[in-house]
C-alpha cells in the first residue's frame, strides 16, 4: 500500500516537472515583465480594485519619471538625435498599447484590468530605465 502511494507521488511529481515549462510558456508577455514590478506587493491579498488603483498610481509616477527623462534627453540632444528620440518614443507608445492589448485578450472572461494596468505600469518603468541608459550617450558632452 505504501509502495503504491509512493509510486503515485513519484509519477505526479515527474509529470509536474515535465509539464512545468509548458505552464511558463503560457505567459502572454513572454517573460517581458520579469524583474520589473509595480510596487503593489502588500496589496496583492486585497480586493482587485485596490490592486488596479495601486497599478494606476505606479503608472502615473512612472509616466512622470518618463516625461522628465525624455524631456531632459530632448533638451540635450542635437537636431538629428531629437528626431530619432521622437520616432523611438512614438514607436514605443504604439508597442506598449499593442502589447497591453495582447495581454488583455489573454485574460478574456476574467477581470483583466489588474493585468492591463500592471502591463502599462511595468512597461513604463522599463522605458524609464531604457531612456536613462540611452541618455548616458547623449549626455556625455553635457558633463565635459
For residues 14 and 75, what is the distance between their CA atoms, to the nearest angstrom? Answer: 58
Q: What domains lie within the chain, and their CATH numbers?
A: 47-144 (1.20.1270.180)
Query: Which residue would you say has higher pLDDT here, 22 or 142?
Result: 142
For residues 56 and 61, what is the distance between their CA atoms, to the nearest angstrom? Answer: 9
Percent of the chain topping pLDDT 90: 42
Quick one: pLDDT at residue 4? 57
Quick one: pLDDT at residue 20? 42
Quick one: pLDDT at residue 115? 85
- The set of residues, in sequence order, having a beta carbon less than 8 Å from that of 142 and lying 6+ positions away, is 76
Quick one: pLDDT at residue 17? 46
The mean pLDDT of 9-23, rounded to a whole number, is 46
Give residue-wise pLDDT tens across range 61-111: 999 999 999 999 999 999 999 999 999 999 999 999 999 999 888 887 777
Query: Residue 45 is placed in which grid cell?
Result: 491579498
Give residue-wise pLDDT tens across range 23-53: 444 454 545 555 555 666 666 556 777 888 8
Quick one: pLDDT at residue 22? 41
For residues 120 and 81, what is the distance between their CA atoms, to the nearest angstrom? Answer: 26
For residues 32 and 123, what is the distance between their CA atoms, to the nearest angstrom? Answer: 9
For residues 39 and 22, what is the distance between their CA atoms, to the nearest angstrom? Answer: 28
What is this structure's pTM?
Answer: 0.69
Sign of the Cα pseudo-torsion (69, 70, 74, 77, in order): positive
Amino acid at each position: 500500500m505504501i509502495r503504491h502511494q509512493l509510486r503515485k507521488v513519484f509519477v505526479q511529481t515527474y509529470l509536474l516537472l515535465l509539464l512545468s515549462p509548458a505552464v511558463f510558456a503560457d505567459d502572454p508577455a513572454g517573460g517581458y515583465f520579469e524583474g520589473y514590478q509595480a510596487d503593489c506587493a502588500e496589496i496583492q491579498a486585497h480586493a482587485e480594485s485596490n490592486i488596479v488603483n495601486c497599478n494606476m498610481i505606479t503608472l502615473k509616477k512612472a509616466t512622470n519619471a518618463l516625461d522628465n527623462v525624455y524631456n531632459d534627453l530632448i533638451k540635450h540632444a542635437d537636431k538629428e538625435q531629437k528626431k530619432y528620440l521622437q520616432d523611438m518614443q512614438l514607436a514605443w507608445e504604439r508597442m506598449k498599447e499593442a502589447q497591453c492589448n495582447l495581454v488583455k485578450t489573454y485574460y478574456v472572461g476574467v477581470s483583466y484590468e489588474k493585468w492591463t494596468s500592471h502591463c502599462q505600469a511595468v512597461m513604463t518603468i522599463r522605458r524609464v530605465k531604457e531612456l536613462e541608459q540611452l541618455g548616458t550617450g547623449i549626455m556625455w558632452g553635457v558633463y565635459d
